[in-house]
Amino acid sequence: MQDQVKVFKALSSEPRLKVVRLLKEHPQCVNAIAQRLGMTQSAASQHLRILKEAGLVKGQKRGNWMHYEMSSENLERCGRAIADVFGVGIKPQKTSRGSVNCPPSLLKECPGTPPPARTKKKGKP
């Protein structure tokens, strides 16, 4: 679950989503990312650090500059973590009583079926 939390936190910021979109194009150095997104080099570095900790990007030192790119080996793992949260590709559990949304222990609070609709009696408004 910790991997899921890191991925969701990393992607919960608009600037970090913009960084990810830039890195989908090709690897880039911190200064290029900062300039293209109109932020300081320090801010770009902080966003990249969070994306790196979540396993979404990786960095490689080239000369004096650090270049970042999408971490293809971790993207599948991150995709599985996100899919797991939403139940994509997972069959729902069968329940013996209640419904998928209401486990048997909560049947008194939530019977699992909506109450019957009221109908107006004829002759009365």
CATH number at residue 55: 1.10.10.10
Asked if residue 44 belongs to a domain, the reply is: yes
Share of the chain residues as helix, strand and coil, in percent rounded to the nearest 5: 50, 10, 40
Asked if residue 89 belongs to a domain, the reply is: no
The model's pLDDT over 98-114, given as tens digits with 9 standing for 90+, comes to 445 555 555 555 544 55
Least confident of 40-54, 55-69, 79-93: 79-93
Asked if residue 122 belongs to a domain, the reply is: no
Asked if residue 119 belongs to a domain, the reply is: no
Helices (H), 1-125: 2-10, 14-25, 30-37, 41-53, 72-86
Asked if residue 106 belongs to a domain, the reply is: no
Asked if residue 19 belongs to a domain, the reply is: yes
Least confident of 5-9, 49-53, 104-108: 104-108
For residue 59, what are the domain limits?
2-81
Provide mean pLDDT across the span 81-89.
73
AA letter at 12: S
Q: Which of 7, 3, 10 is nearest to 48 (CA)?
A: 10
What's the token pair of residue 115?
């109450």
Asked if residue 100 belongs to a domain, the reply is: no
Tally of domains within the chain: 1
Provide mean pLDDT across the span 84-88.
75
Residue 34 has pLDDT above 90, yes or no: yes
Q: Residue 39 — pLDDT band, cuts 50, 70, 90?
A: very high
Give dist(CA 68, CA 91) in Å, integer: 37
Asked if residue 69 belongs to a domain, the reply is: yes
